[in-house]
Structure 1
Amino acid sequence: MKNILLISLLLVVGIGQGQTEFDKSFVSIGVIVSDLDSALDFYTNIIGMKETGGFNVNEEFARKTGLTGGVPFDVKILKLQDDPNATEYKLMSFGNEKNTSETHIQERNGMRYITLFYKSTVEVLNRLKANNVKLLGETPIKLADGRSFILVQDPDGTFIELIGN
């Protein structure tokens, strides 16, 4: 009887996993930054992401895919942890000017912010202060569940919510 129950459970789990059209269970996000080195420093040394790889896109591939019309570029892949199923935050730069300064997320359409969840915000808050990163609003503030909420912007103005104990 135990074997039948176990086999039934495995079949249900297996069927449930095959019901999506997606090949991977994470999102890979591409972010254009004005200065790749500054952004890489901010996201790795202050925010705490890990650089896990990267790749180059040559002129021909960039043109054929329609990504840039033929401008080659380099991509740096960052993750919260070096895990094959972790979301990828891909940084690339074309030397564009920084975006105009914004104060709140409603000021422009498109991807406006990311949210990162920390076990504790103490270390990231110390790194933000040590690097003179401006905290936005009245943050850090306590959420109803007791966790801290911190809002900052990266060097190009993307808002970053930092939530944790």
Structure 2
Amino acid sequence: MKHTILSILFLTLSITVGRTQTEYANPSISIGIIVSDIETSLDFYTKIMGMKETGGFSIDETFGKRSGLSGGTPFDVKIMKVVDDPNATELKLVAFGNEKTAPDKHIQDRNGMQYTTYFIKSTDKILKRLKENNVPLLGETPINLSDGRTFILFQDPDGVFIEVIGN
């Protein structure tokens, strides 16, 4: 019994020390995507990707200028998550009315954030939603991976590549 208590205490201390040795207050990150049409993108990320809109906020002219984010243009941010959990990664969608550009053909075509990866339990539902919404798959996907999972590649309405990996 004494050995078990010491083991639990050591494990708890190890986990606590490991967590305090980082400068980050949250283990996830937020990713911002500038979209051409906010409603189209919200539709895509909720209906096809299965994400949830979990909140949002507005940036006014003053903060947009002082922060260097928008040079003074106000904007609204819509927050999407795969689960409504405070530590879940956020996908922040913002629209400035920019024109939609032709999507890249491959991830190496341009520098910057080009793709996101979603790990899901089963690819069946998302494949069905992609087909029902006429979202084309890229390459020869779906591809069976050596570990038994399936890899799918497609693009969102503004051309951001999306990898989905699941069973």
TM-score range, shorter chain: over 0.9
Which one of 63, 73, 81 corresponds to residue 61 of structure 1?
Answer: 63
Q: Alignment partner for residue 155 of structure 2, among 150, 153, 156?
A: 153
Is the partner of 1:136 in helix, strand or coil?
Answer: coil
Task: Label 1:143 to 1:62 Cα distance change in 2 as closer, same or farther (>3 A).
Answer: same
Task: Give the deviation of 1:12 after TM superposition.
Answer: 2.3
RMSD: 1.1
Out of 11-20 and 87-96, give the one that drifted further.
Answer: 11-20
| Matched-pair identity in % | 60
Whichever residue aligns with residue 161 of structure 1, its letter is E
Q: CA deviation at 1:93?
A: 0.4
The unaligned stretches of length 5 or more in structure 2 are none
- 2:134 aligns with 132
1:13 correspondence with 2:30: no
The amino acid of 1:18's aligned partner reads: T
Go from structure 1 to structure 2 and tell me whether the alpha carbon gap of 1:120 and 1:61 turns closer, same or farther (over 3 Å shift): same
Match of 2:47 in 1: 45
TM-score (norm 1): 0.96
- CA drift of 1:95 comes to 0.6
Alpha-carbon separation, structure 2, partners of 1:75 and 1:50: 14
The gaps in structure 1 that reach 5 residues or longer are none
- TM-score normalised to the size of structure 2? 0.94
CA deviation string 1:31-89 (max 9, x = no partner): 10000000010011011111111111111111111100100000000001011110000
Equivalent residue runs for 1:76-87 within 5 Å: 76-87=78-89
Moved more, 5-14 or 35-44: 5-14
**Following TM superposition, by how much is the alpha carbon of 1:14 offset from its aligned partner in structure 2, in angstroms?**
1.6
Equivalent residue in structure 2 for 1:24, among 26, 31, 36? 26
Query: What one-letter code is carried by the residue in structure 2 that aligns with 1:99?
Result: T
Aligned counterparts of 1:4 and 1:121: Cα–Cα separation in 2: 43
In structure 2, what is the equivalent of residue 74 of structure 1? 76
Give me the whole-angstrom Cα distance separating, in 2, the residues matched to 1:141 and 1:5: 44
Q: What's the secondary structure of 2:112's corresponding residue?
A: coil
Deviation of the 1:10 alpha carbon:
2.4
3-state secondary structure, aligned to 2:130: helix
1:45 alignment partner, SS class:
helix
The structure 2 residue matched to 1:97, chosen from 93, 96, 99, is 99
Q: Which residue of 1 aligns with 2:120?
A: 118
Deviations 1:103-162 (A, max 9, x none): 111100001100101111111110000000011111111111111111100010000001
